[in-house]
């Protein structure tokens, strides 16, 4: 193998390692504080939900698209966030952190579900929304809640503790 | 809760990773303990004390520990 080929293969190896996929497959990926991506995901998804509520007509898809963007970013958060998965080995600090953060996550989802369902029922009862619109809004709410479930625990865990810098 | 893990660790020449391996936690957990961001369980506190072979109250306390400089100054005055 020539030197050039060797360098190219090394570069390919490094590129693959950089993606984090091999470490993820081996279960050794680096856990890090993610303070801004989950916040961004929640902001985008919340803006989308607000849009869906305010514009339930033909431009509904704009809000729905925003929710889906937030949802897609949010479901990636557990992969790189500070929380260990339930299947991973965790010490007592990590178990407590996971418990606290998921508790906050579940509470947030519960509040969103409660508010969203009652809002839908109320607007249906007042005949502000049709059955079709209510169905669309509930679909949007379901994806919004999944975005909350993906992002809030990571957000909570990332802001609860300060990350270590290299000197520490 | 206050602790002197960093002082004992430095005295024994142990890195965070070495102490973490000795008490079976992640190195970051030792960091959070040292910072005071996390209150350990009794089991972990006893394990840490066991590594340094001292009573647990020498490492962990509910009241702040006296600063090392103050301790040295006081000992100097007494002698």
Q: What is the ipTM of this complex?
A: 0.82
Report the candidate in B57, B79, B77, B61 with the shortest Cα–Cα distance to residue B69: B77
Query: Who among B31, B33, B44 is closest to A168 (CB)?
Result: B31
Q: Tell me if B32 and A93 make a contact (CB, 8 A cut-off).
A: yes
Please report the pLDDT score of residue A166 as a whole number.
Answer: 58
Whole-number pLDDT of residue A168 = 62
The average pLDDT across B8-30 equals 94
Range A65-72, long-range pairs (CB < 8 A, 24+ positions): A67/A140, A67/A143, A67/A144, A67/A147, A68/A143, A69/A41, A69/A44, A69/A45, A70/A41, A70/A42, A70/A43, A70/A44, A70/A45, A70/A46, A70/A144, A70/A147, A70/A151, A71/A41, A71/A45, A71/A143, A71/A144, A71/A146, A71/A147, A71/A150
- The rounded radius of gyration (Å) of the Cα atoms in chain B is 13
CATH number of B56's domain: 1.10.260.40
Task: For residues B6-32, give the mean pLDDT.
Answer: 93
| Average pLDDT over all residues of chain B | 90
Angle at A91 between CA A79 and CA A158, to 5 degrees: 45
Residue with tokens 């209510």: A134
How many cross-chain Cβ pairs, A to B, lie less than 8 Å apart?
27
pLDDT in tens, A144-159: 999 999 999 999 999 9
pLDDT of residue B40: 94
Please report the pLDDT score of residue B72 as a whole number. 79
Query: How close is the nearest chain A Cα to the Cα of B36, in Å?
Result: 11
**Which stretches of chain A score pLDDT less than 50?**
none
Q: Summarize the confidence of residues B62-66 as an average pLDDT.
A: 86
Confidence at residue A52, expressed as pLDDT on a 0 to 100 scale: 94
Considering only the beta carbons, identify the residue of B29, B31, B35 that sits closest to A91: B29
Q: What is the residue range of B49's domain?
A: 2-78
Please provide residue A79's backbone torsions phi and psi, each rounded to the nearest 5 degrees: -70, -35
CA dihedral A20, A37, A156, A142 (to 10 degrees): -100
Q: Which residues of B touch A96 (CB under 8 A)?
A: 38
Q: Which of B26, B35, B37 sits opposite A94 (nearest CB)?
A: B26
Q: What is the mean pLDDT of residues B46-72?
A: 89
CB contact B37 to A (< 8 Å): yes
pLDDT reported for residue B21 = 95
The residues that bridge with A119 in the sheet, in sequence order, are none
Number of domains present in the structure of chain B: 1
Q: Given CB atoms, is A168 within the 8 Å cutoff of chain B? A: yes
């Amino acid at each position: 193998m020539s030197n050039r080929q060797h360098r190219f293969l090394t570069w390919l190896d490094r590129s693959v390692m950089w993606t984090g996929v091999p470490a993820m497959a081996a279960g050794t990926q680096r856990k890090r504080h993610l303070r801004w991506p989950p916040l961004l995901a929640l902001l985008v998804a919340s803006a989308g939900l607000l849009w869906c509520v305010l514009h339930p007509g033909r431009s509904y898809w704009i809000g729905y698209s925003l929710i889906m963007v937030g949802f897609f970013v949010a479901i990636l958060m557990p992969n790189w966030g500070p929380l260990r998965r339930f299947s991973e080995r965790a010490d007592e600090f990590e178990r407590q952190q996971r418990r606290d953060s998921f508790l906050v996550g579940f509470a947030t989802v519960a509040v969103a579900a409660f508010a969203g369902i009652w809002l839908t029922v109320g607007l249906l009862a007042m005949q502000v929304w049709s059955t079709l619109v209510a169905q669309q809004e509930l679909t949007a709410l379901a994806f919004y809640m999944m975005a909350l479930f993906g992002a809030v625990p990571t957000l909570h865990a990332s802001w609860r503790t300060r990350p270590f810098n290299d000197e520490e | 809760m206050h602790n002197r893990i960093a002082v004992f660790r430095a005295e024994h020449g142990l890195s965070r990773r070495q102490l973490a391996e000795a008490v079976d936690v992640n190195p970051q957990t030792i960091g959070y303990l040292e910072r005071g961001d996390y209150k350990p369980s009794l089991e972990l506190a006893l394990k840490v004390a066991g590594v340094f072979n001292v009573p647990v109250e020498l490492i962990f306390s509910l009241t702040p520990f006296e600063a090392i400089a103050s301790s040295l100054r006081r000992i100097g005055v007494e002698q």
